[in-house]
Amino acid sequence: MPDNLNDLQSVAAADLPHLKERAQFRSLILTNPNYFGNLANSPLQSVLNIAGNTTYEEIGCVGFEPQLSLLEAVVYIKQITGYGGGICGVGSQEYVRFYLSFDDGATWQDQGEVYFTVYDVAAAARGNQRLEYACSLKINPPKKFCSQRNIIRARTILSWNTPNPPNAPNHIPVWGNVHNTFIQVAKLSLFLLGDIFTLANVKLPQVLEEVVDPKTEISAKAAKTLSAFELQDLYKDQKVEPHRLALKEALAVLEQPQLTQNLMTAGYKFPFAGFSSEQLFGPIAAAIASGQGNTSYEQLECIGYYPGDNEALIGTVRVKLPSGYSGGPCTAGSFEYVTFWADLDGSGSFATCLGQTSVNVHDFNPIPEGGLEYAVFLPVDLGQYRQLCQNGPKLIPIRAILSWNAAPPCNNPNYVPVWGNRLETLILVRPGAPSHAMTPLLSRAGDVSYIDINSSGLANGSTLETGLVCHDSPFGGLINLAGKIPSGTAGTKYRIMKKRHSDSDTFYAPIVNEPQGIGLFINSWDSMTGWTSSHVVKHAEAPIADGYYTYEDYSSTHYVEANLMGYWQTVAADDGGLFDLRIDVSVDGNPAHDLRSNVVTVLIDNTPPVALLNLDLGGGQCGDFTPGSIINGHFTATDIHFGSFSFQIEPSGPPNFPSHGHLPNPPSGDSVLFAGSISDPGLFGASWSLNTGAIAGPPALPAMDPCGYALILHVSDRTNVNNGFARNTAQASIGFCLRRPQ
């Protein structure tokens, strides 16, 4: 098994080609965009034709993490110079743009671009080793039922120091390269009832159309895990080795201390009917003894480090064969496990385990030529190992071990997988002051990122989980508060503090969510059961009035959904107030010594809008009219943070209902902040008019039928209520009858 670090291209800096052109890159392409000959059909003559040069950087691998929908690339930095200067300078950027093709490469859809910063790092610091970086992009390819094949093409373009042009899948960069591969998209786990009838090509009977809602959401049932004996039958003609079919069961037996004694007991019956002891345990023992994992089915090909704010280690795994992965996509399949270690003391021991992750894989027959490329993703926090640039680059050797269906244990960096392999690389930790302290971050309030909340306490953008659009939106109702404590542990204590913005810091007081506690959804992962989710209610530690809670979001394998840390139930007394919020972390039990987060300021608005509606009949609320009449009235729809108004007529419904789709003029209106025409505080005493007769259109509407009706005015403001699930609303109504003439 190879365990030496990847070799750096051994070329002396003085002998590196085109260093002068790298240094003058921007000025050269400004004078002649086709200077390097990378523009197809350009009328400009190239001067130095080196398009797609990979001397300095190159995409090593690209993979997809289907469970997290992350498209990930590992980039090799191959030289010691040519990157815009050392770590105390600005360096340069490596740009990576991703594309997907759903028609086998005929067309490509641009998914977006990400980048990271690289620097010159002297050979004395890194030796004869290249640096390996990584980046990832969240994408949203369409999912399908497990019975529908969903393998698509992915293309990735790397370009040094200049962004790739958007929607240009055939672009060739000057420095960099293009990488093509195949990825597999995860199956649908939640779908609509109507999708089932569409898949089965069945039309819903008319008798059911009125009682069945095709938009009802349905969760897919849990996929079945196939036993070794079911797999033996499934693979009987596919030459999948017995010690792969029954690997999990065989390893479980090997871990039993009484096995040796049992094997030597008279009359002992081997527990695997249809398999011999030699078939199962012989190859496993041979693999362990040789120190070489078998890579005929899968192989860890690249590992890299993303140095941005959300640090992560990324690995790419190539799945090579059509079968042998414990079943097709409608089964539970199997897992490719990867564990990462760091060699922090330079001893070569790799004693520090950074964590373990996995990706779910299945059989796909046929499999594309070259196989499928998957990715694994492990969030890490290396802030405590940073050092100031004046002290030189902080380089850390990283080891990763891939093992199919059996997780490499964290306490064994020398683990030999039966199926899998080991890789090592060298990473450069982002320069800067080390973050030894657990300085917390209050990252979200009311499901809005803190960077989207201005100093006036108003939100702009969208809520991250619910997608509510915010434009100068205050907050109301229940406000969830999310954040992170770097290097936080299972014993870390924190509390959420609140004060009015106009008060001094001495007025900060804890938000104590008792006696109900804080409900958290906690995701935990282990090698035997995979990911499990549970709802846990956390209560304040004694003394309760101090408001300290135990931190549960402390690792990549034990984390809280949406990073929730607490919530604040605002009340009427808070209305109109501007409040400052922060997170305090206990370090020694003395609140005066607590570490404090950033401050997020929110404006509270729990007041509903004003909705008034009347008929022009002396201000009445009801009236009688003949069909075809034009009914007039006035309405008020106001709020200091006005959002929108709309009218509704009941009874309403399909066109055959008596209202026939009629609405007043105007039927609705939006705030100028929602691309409408109404400024704050809204409309006061505005006119409305309802034509009950036939309307020529478009759309053409028949006259309203004689009936009793209710006209309802709905008004909403812009407030983000209950974390993007609602707004403050009000309504008013009048009644009228269209009576058939006597």
pLDDT tens figures, 664-675: 999 999 999 998
Q: How confident is the model at residue 242, as a pLDDT?
A: 81
DSSP 8-state secondary structure symbol assigned to residue 7 = B
262 — pLDDT class (breaks 50, 70, 90): low
- Partnered with residue 470 across adjacent β-strands are 461
* Residue whose C-alpha is closest to residue 709's, from 626, 650, 636, 624: 650
Measured distance CA(742)–CA(739) in Å, rounded: 9
Measured distance CA(317)–CA(327) in Å, rounded: 18
Measured distance CA(157)–CA(163) in Å, rounded: 10
For residue 533, give Cα distances in angstroms to 518, 521, 557, 565.
16, 7, 11, 17
**Residue with tokens 């597999």, as numbered in its chain:** 184
Say if residues 692 and 632 touch (Cβ distance below 8 Å): no
pTM of the shown model: 0.64
Residue 711, H or E segment: strand 707-717
Strands (E) located in 226-364: 298-306, 312-319, 334-342, 352-361
pLDDT tens figures, 40-62: 888 888 999 999 999 999 999 99
For residue 190, give Cα distances in angstroms to 68, 142, 216, 364, 631.
15, 12, 10, 22, 47
Q: How confident is the model at residue 291, as a pLDDT?
A: 73
DSSP 8-state secondary structure symbol assigned to residue 103 = S
Residues 6+ apart with CB under 8 A from 279: 242, 243
* Residue whose C-alpha is closest to residue 331's, from 225, 484, 443, 179: 225
Strands (E) located in 143-296: 151-160, 178-184, 190-192, 217-219
Mean pLDDT along residues 323-342: 94
Residue range(s) of every CATH 2.60.40.10 domain in the chain: 610-738
For residue 699, give Cα distances in angstroms to 5, 20, 666.
70, 67, 15
In terms of Cβ atoms closer than 10 Å to its own Cβ (0-12, 13-18, 19+), residue 322 is middle
* Residue whose C-alpha is closest to residue 284's, from 292, 296, 272: 292
* Residue whose C-alpha is closest to residue 660's, from 693, 701, 627: 701
pLDDT tens figures, 463-517: 887 888 899 999 999 999 999 998 889 999 999 999 999 999 999 999 999 999 9
pLDDT tens figures, 376-414: 988 888 878 888 889 999 999 999 999 999 899 999 999
Peptide bond into 366 cis (omega under 30): yes
Say if residues 480 and 723 touch (Cβ distance below 8 Å): yes
DSSP line for 537-595 = EE-PPSSGGG--EE----BTTEEEGGGEEEEEE--GGGTT-EEEEEEEE-SSS-GGG-E
pLDDT tens figures, 145-159: 898 999 999 999 999
* Domain 610-738 top-level CATH class: mainly beta
Percentage helix, strand, coil for the chain under 3-state DSSP, each rounded to 5: 15, 40, 50
User: pLDDT over 90 for what percent of the chain?
Assistant: 61
Peptide bond into 698 cis (omega under 30): yes
pLDDT tens figures, 520-538: 999 887 766 667 778 999 9
DSSP line for 624-692 = EE-TTPEEEEEEEEE-TTEEEEEEEEES--STTSTTTT---BS-EEEBGGGTSSB-TTEEEEEEEEEE-
Mean pLDDT of the chain: 88
276 vs 316 pLDDT, higher one: 316
Measured distance CA(567)–CA(513) in Å, rounded: 7
Helix axes 247-254, 277-290, angle to 10 degrees: 80
Helical H segments across 246-323, by residue range: 247-254, 259-263, 277-290
User: pLDDT over 70 for what percent of the chain?
Assistant: 91
Indicate whether 324 pLDDT > 50.
yes
Indicate whether 205 pLDDT > 80.
no
Measured distance CA(174)–CA(94) in Å, rounded: 12
Say if residues 400 and 340 touch (Cβ distance below 8 Å): yes
293 vs 202 pLDDT, higher one: 293
Measured distance CA(334)–CA(357) in Å, rounded: 13
**Alpha-carbon dihedral of residues 388, 390, 392, 395, nearest 10 degrees?**
10
Say if residues 560 and 519 touch (Cβ distance below 8 Å): no
Structure tokens at 57: 């950087």
